Amino acid sequence: MRGRITASQLARRAVVYVRQSTTMQVFENTESTHRQYGLAERARALGWSADHIDVIDEDLGRSGASTDGRAGFERLRDGVAHGRVGAVFAIEVSRLARSSEDWQRLLSLCAIAEVVVVDENVIYDPADKDDKLLLDIKGTMSEAELHWLGLRMHGARQSKARRGELRFSIPTGYVWSDGSLQMDPDQAVQSALRNVFSRFTVEPSAWAVVKWARETGQKFPTRRSYADGTTEVQWKPLGQTRLHEILNNPIYAGTYAFGRRPVRKALVDGEVRTVRPSGRDPEQWAVCIHQAHPGYIDWQTFMSNQKKLRDNLARMTGASRGAPREGSALLQGLVVCGRCGRRMTVNYGGARNLGPYYVCPGERDKGETLCWTTQGARIDSAVQELFLQTMVPPELDLSLAVEREVGAQASALEQHWKLRLEQANYEARRAERRYKAVDPDNRVVARTLEVDWEQRLRELAELERQYEQAKRERRVELTKQDRSRVLALAHDLPRVWRATSTLPAERKAMLRLVIEVIALTPVEVPQRITRVQVQWKSGAVTELHVARPSQKDRLRTSAQAVQRVRVLAAQGLRDEQIAARLDQEGIRTGRDRTWNTWAVKWVRQHYAIERVAKDAPRSKRMPARDDAGRYSVAAVAARFGVSIHIVRRWLTKDVLTVEWEPHRNNKRVGWITLDIDSERRAASLARLARRRRSKRSSASSARRARPSR
């Protein structure tokens, strides 16, 4: 039956499969698409009626390299497998599949289901060995052709990229001009980018730059390109994602880079997936041409920015320092273990409020115990004092540095605002000229241009308002008084350090400017101490020794507190008076709590301190009734033969009426008024309580009398 159509095949449906690889081919290669749709006429000529011919064109714009995302091909294969299809029409094998695996699977189904494959000239029977061989060869050539096409296209891109001439989507701040990258002609765009890069050099993290941009009201430009070739700059708040894209892009360093993150296939959890490398190592880039175009920063600054971003990553393994955070641990990210060299992490005391701890995890991830741990308060205090004593720069150098930095930042911000205002003024004037140039009788165009002019004027007014607010609130322009205050604070570093407005993250950032790393090593003999080795950025190392008391020593009452208890007891004060005096003097217990009578008594007994004062006079017994005839809680309990706890329960349930008043030395005493109704209710409840108590007593006696088995 080779080359023929059988009656059973004509009884089933004929499927015309139409596919183009890309959307561009759909719009440009219209003749190929027309020829594929024309196969429906060939199906009618071979004997299929029009209502038995299906055209599957859902895969237009889809690659034939695999079946991923090709719903049309899946529908075709499902129809063949379920016996609904008698013939498959395709202009060539490459339209059906460019993968030998997909092609062979379809041919196997067609051979079993007795489905023919038809192109413009030939009818193939996959069940016939000769036709199957020919179809196999065509499928193999189609797959190889895709590979050859890819090699040629990739080679051409690589060759053009090596010359720095391959065009690709460029970030905001650059434009293509005369075949090379040039800086954006808009000076406001250039100013915004330079401000961001300069700010990242002084801020501890990218997030700090984002906060600075929000506080100063600075927005970041985005140049949008349109299909007609025009572009427009839009100003938006700077986000952290966008900032990372800027800092990680080597184009801003004047480097032409291509192939930083090549796509490759890999096995992930037993499945083939497309993966991309991080692209952080320039040695792995396909093309890297330095000084290919003007840069906003140099290559050395770009690499230092990458190192800073990597160090700020918070990893559970402690491999990087992490960005300065708001925790109270001053040396977070700086400390390493002097025993094993691992970076130490920070834990906090939790509910016990014991402060930060520096912990070396050791081989804990492999099931081992912690290397060691130490409390951080004493170490933080020692390093803090060392830092404040060391950082005393010459007055003249400091004054010049502060003056230069403050002036540069203020000038950069002011220049940025002026450029944006200048651009907004230009846009408003251009909109005005366009409106005035149109024929007044052409109202359709005139109304549109009038709306655009009004919108530009509103944008200009809003920008001027933001600029005035920034000058007033965020000090875009610094006065002489502002400069004097900044210089005064710069000379008084301890005052700035200890100010309540200085955040913990800011103190940590100050330390990281001058300290590279701090090694902590435990020393047990001749006494328990921690050896602290501070390595400065200059390479110098300073060694400190900090006491490392045990848990028992940390909770021990201080010698000052013991001495005060001894003195106050000798003066004839009682324990409660001593506790009040210690709290007034700000002296705390060993557990950092306030004092009470029992704490003072424990200290006296433990340190053998004799009490000179006599016992406090005992308070007089509370009367059963007051002058108004009201009963005390104990008197009511005695009157009805119940316990005090039962009377208190009656009070919570409003069975009795109580009035709370101070009496003698007691701050709060309850007096109960018994009238006829309340006395009747109390008596009834008392009888019920006595019956329940009697039943419980009888049951208990019965259990005790029961013989054991």
Domain 172-312 carries which CATH code?
3.90.1750.20
Choose the weakest-confidence range: 328-332, 462-466, 545-549, 565-569: 462-466
Average pLDDT over residues 563-579: 89
Q: Over the stretch 160-189, which tens digit does the pLDDT of each residue have?
A: 888 888 888 888 888 888 778 888 888 888
At residue 470 the predicted structure's pLDDT band, cuts being 50, 70 and 90, is low
pLDDT of residue 253: 92
The reply to whether domains 7-159 and 172-312 share a CATH topology is no
Is it the case that residue 345 has pLDDT exceeding 60?
yes
pLDDT of residue 483: 56
Q: Where are the alpha helices (DSSP H) in 29-128?
A: 30-37, 39-45, 71-81, 93-96, 100-113
Q: Over the stretch 517-536, which tens digit does the pLDDT of each residue have?
A: 899 999 888 888 899 999 98
Is it the case that residue 234 has pLDDT exceeding 80?
yes
Which DSSP state fits 653?
Answer: T
Is it the case that residue 99 has pLDDT exceeding 60?
yes
Average pLDDT over residues 511-515: 84
Q: What string of H, E and C letters represents the secondary structure of 309-357?
A: HHHCCCCCCCCCCCCCCCCCCCCCCCEEECCCCCECEEEECHHHCCCEE
CB 276 within 8 Å of CB 262: yes
What whole-number distance in Å separates Cα of residue 671 and Cα of residue 598? 30
For the entire predicted model, the pTM comes to 0.56
Query: By CB neighbour count within 10 A (0-12 exposed, 13-18 middle, 19+ buried), where does 667 fall?
Result: exposed
pLDDT of residue 86: 92
Is it the case that residue 647 has pLDDT exceeding 70?
yes
Is it the case that residue 308 has pLDDT exceeding 80?
yes
Is it the case that residue 395 has pLDDT exceeding 60?
no
Average pLDDT taken over every residue of the chain: 81
Find where tokens 């013939």 sit: 87
Is it the case that residue 158 has pLDDT exceeding 90?
no
Domain 7-159 carries which CATH code?
3.40.50.1390
pLDDT of residue 424: 78
Asked if 501 is an active-site residue, the reply is: no
pLDDT of residue 347: 86
Q: Over the stretch 63-96, which tens digit does the pLDDT of each residue have?
A: 888 888 888 899 999 999 999 999 999 988 778 8
Share of the chain above pLDDT 90, in %: 10
Query: By CB neighbour count within 10 A (0-12 exposed, 13-18 middle, 19+ buried), where does 273 fall?
Result: exposed
At residue 278 the predicted structure's pLDDT band, cuts being 50, 70 and 90, is confident
With CA atoms as reference, report the closest residue to 40 among 51, 28, 29: 51
- What are φ and ψ of residue 585, in 5° steps? -80, 0
Q: Over the stretch 102-150, which tens digit does the pLDDT of each residue have?
A: 888 888 999 999 999 998 888 999 988 888 888 888 888 887 877 787 7
At residue 318 the predicted structure's pLDDT band, cuts being 50, 70 and 90, is low
The residues, ordered by sequence, that sit 6+ positions from 210 with a Cβ below 8 Å of its Cβ are 238, 239, 240, 243
pLDDT of residue 159: 82
Share of the chain above pLDDT 70, in %: 87
Is it the case that residue 320 has pLDDT exceeding 80?
no
Choose the weakest-confidence range: 367-371, 412-416, 439-443: 412-416
The residue extents of the domains of the chain are: 7-159, 172-312, 395-491, 556-606, 633-705
pLDDT of residue 1: 45
Look at 374 and 153; give whichever has higher pLDDT: 374
Exactly one of 8, 21, 177, 198 is catalytic; name it: 21
What whole-number distance in Å separates Cα of residue 130 and Cα of residue 124? 9
Choose the weakest-confidence range: 408-422, 430-444, 537-551, 667-681: 408-422
Is it the case that residue 482 has pLDDT exceeding 90?
no
pLDDT of residue 403: 47
Q: Over the stretch 676-708, which tens digit does the pLDDT of each residue have?
A: 888 888 889 888 888 888 888 777 777 766 655
Q: Over the stretch 194-208, which tens digit does the pLDDT of each residue have?
A: 888 988 887 888 888
Average pLDDT over residues 475-495: 60
The DSSP element (H or E) to which 175 belongs, if any, is strand 174-177
pLDDT of residue 612: 78
Instruction: Tell which phi-psi region holds residue 508, choosing left (phi > 0), alpha (psi between -120 and 50) or beta.
Output: alpha
What whole-number distance in Å separates Cα of residue 323 and Cα of residue 333? 8
What whole-number distance in Å separates Cα of residue 85 and Cα of residue 76? 8
Is it the case that residue 417 has pLDDT exceeding 90?
no
Tokens of 613: 């004062």
Cα dihedral 122, 127, 128, 129 sign: positive
Helix and strand totals (H; E) in the chain: 25, 22
